[in-house]
Chains A and B, each alone.
Chain A
């Protein structure tokens, strides 16, 4: 869970940009990456995203953890496409006496998918590291994402860490009582842990509703007010997206 709670760098120039500008730029870049059939542009986006994460001062270990899973999937897809898809032979391997043929067209298809994964993950990771979650939600609200979805996301975000701490306490107590010694006991303990979390969620929702109603809650959460767009930020963003667009369609 510590992977979620990396403090966004408040004073960093990228963090200070308008979240709407960052989100729109990231979404435009994401569309370009996902709609790309080549390898070069998604890899460029991946390099830019990675560089931005490093510039933001995100610890290398956190970046590695964030990228590990999607990049592993990218590698698996690349291997599978190379060896089990396509018709144009590239080279042959003989593991354990078997003949496995790598295909040129499979490699190209797999490479395109792997590059898309790397590029898209880097873009979303960069915007995630550079923008506090509440700012992202305010930007999504400005983009006309339904208020109900934003409210639920904000409640979930607010109580995620509280519930996770509770889960850790229950889990530690169960472990100390050998609750995970053996498969069946572990299963039972896990069910009880999840059930305890649901009960906690119900009770907490009642408590916070009472507290919020006393403070004027009418069913809608107030969101952060956006400052007016700054011309410089918008212009820089448009230029960046246009430049990336030109590179994408070159």
Chain B
């Protein structure tokens, strides 16, 4: 079973909830940190990292001895990653999407591929919890290849929890794609509500079922609760605003360490989600 924690708006508590759910669950859990631009799960679960590998993307190289500068490679490239100059093509690797068009189109078979490093994948564990995270290298634009590398570890055999990047663009879509359910963590503010609506629209388009967790609520009858009622979206849990939770979290302490009463509530959330998934409800 694959459950993603996402939000639209940043800083609403995705990581807090992902880690808390991972710790509350009674069954074996694999936690994937797909927020590769700012992976933070490790700060809370403090894993022992057992191995790491470099995430690479393919980029073209030309064999200048074979190239008879015809310009076909630059012509097929829709990402402006190739400039055709007199002697041989010039590649701009950071613009390349690795579609392979230039390789296919070259009449001299003069173009091959090399691997370019874009990120790091790390695997480890913490108290029986399996943990995998990705890190985008500084200055790299495309998070998606790193997210896809982390997502290779998602599994149907055990409970896979996926901490997603904020926003609703391609990194978010790559992280939630293929999940059974998305828990949208938000806060009862106009920004939280606005970005929640965008996330809901994206997930509906992708055909992925979703429910909501409200974090930092002052009043249970808030704007998010009203929206969920209107839109018929399950509201699974409301976590109150408490300074002691914020302070503990700032030091890397987990929700369940300061507020153990949430353990049973989070298990109920997992139970509800499991039932929804097996019931095939949307």
The answer on A and B forming one complex is no
A interface residue numbers (CB < 8 A to B): none
